[in-house]
């Protein structure tokens, strides 16, 4: 079973991506392709992916199995003005990646997510082979006192890290690209539409696989992108300075 992983990215999340890469790389099930998609072209992200693909190919050099790989996609640059336009842009990138993906199942794993179990992909694959289904749902740690999903599934009770969808179904439904300014959790609207398309049927794995916002070493998307700063020059300097600090903390010797 081949998994397609989708992650919208931007330069400032490279520190978190370093951590997430290690967690995905250490998965015992290695039949996956990881699509990273940015808003416009980024040389830094391209270099990051080239470096990681070298590591992946080197680690599988003596194996007869196909190496997992990372792919860089980027959409035409779109100006973002506030939190809602940032979210809409991220949703468009998710939908674009789904349309380009060739895999059995889609997992939407954001850059700040943390995978807690190195058996996650293997367990999901085994469960879906034993009980074929278009949708698989599992647990994640959302906060100190809360795990998701909570049932019945409704708005605010599930996150993208909670589920994987068959690629065929995901392409048929499409990831919603418009933002409801009152309830802008498009992760819920996506899973809800997918569930409706298969009459509410899914496989549930009662196991904790991930942590929401578990690898975030940046404050949040809006702050990092400077969407709350009126002065764009100051915002750009702030982003660059903060990214430098994070990279230094993560890899102080530049290895």
Q: Where are the beta strands (DSSP E) in the chain?
A: 3-9, 32-39, 69-75, 105-108, 114-115, 135-143, 146-148, 163-166, 203-211
* 228 domain residue, yes or no: no
Contacts of 130 (CB under 8 A, 6+ apart): none
- Of 64, 63, 98, 250, residue with least CA distance to 172: 98
Sign of the CA dihedral with 150 first, then 110, 134, and 68 last: negative
Please give the Cα distance from 60 to 68 (Å, whole number).
9
* 221 domain residue, yes or no: no
- Of 49, 56, 47, 45, residue with least CA distance to 13: 45
**What are the mean pLDDT values of the chain's consecutive 10-residue runs (255 residues total)?**
96 92 96 97 96 88 70 93 83 96 97 96 98 98 91 92 98 90 76 96 97 78 49 50 50 43
* 230 domain residue, yes or no: no
* 240 domain residue, yes or no: no
* 123 domain residue, yes or no: yes
* 255 domain residue, yes or no: no
Please tell me the total count of domains within the chain: 1
Q: What is the pLDDT of residue 179?
A: 78
Q: What is the pLDDT of residue 206?
A: 97
The enclosing domain of 203 has a CATH number of 3.90.550.10
The pTM assigned to this predicted structure is 0.84
CA atoms within 13 A on the CB side of 76: 0
* 233 domain residue, yes or no: no
Distances in Å between the alpha carbon of 147 and those of 41, 79, 150, 157, 161? Answer: 36, 35, 7, 9, 12
Structural domain containing residue 183: 3-216
Residue with tokens 């048929």: 172
* 15 domain residue, yes or no: yes
């Amino acid at each position: 079973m081949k998994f397609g992983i989708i992650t919208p990215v931007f330069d400032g999340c490279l520190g978190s991506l370093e951590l997430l890469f290690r967690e995905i790389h250490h998965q015992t099930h290695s039949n996956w392709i990881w699509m990273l998609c940015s808003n416009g072209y980024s040389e830094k992200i391209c270099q990051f992916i080239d470096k990681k693909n070298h590591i992946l190919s080197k680690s599988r050099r003596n194996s007869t199995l196909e190496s997992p790989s990372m792919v860089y996609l980027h959409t035409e640059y779109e100006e973002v003005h506030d939190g809602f336009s940032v979210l809409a842009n991220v949703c468009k990138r998710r939908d674009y990646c789904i349309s380009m993906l060739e895999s059995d199942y889609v997992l939407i794993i954001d850059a700040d997510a943390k995978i807690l179990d190195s058996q996650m992909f293997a367990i999901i694959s085994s469960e879906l082979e034993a009980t074929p289904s278009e949708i698989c749902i599992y647990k994640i740690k959302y906060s100190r006192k809360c795990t998701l999903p909570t049932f019945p599934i409704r708005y605010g009770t599930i996150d993208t890290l909670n589920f994987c969808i068959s690629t065929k179904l995901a392409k048929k439904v499409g990831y919603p690209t418009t933002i409801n300014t009152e309830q802008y959790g498009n992760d819920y609207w996506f899973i809800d539409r997918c569930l409706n398309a298969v009459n509410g049927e899914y496989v549930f794995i009662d196991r904790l696989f991930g942590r929401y916002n578990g690898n975030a070493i940046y404050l949040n998307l809006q702050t990092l992108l400077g969407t709350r700063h009126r002065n764009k020059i100051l915002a750009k300097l702030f982003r660059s300075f903060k990214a430098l600090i994070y990279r230094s903390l993560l890899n102080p010797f530049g290895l």
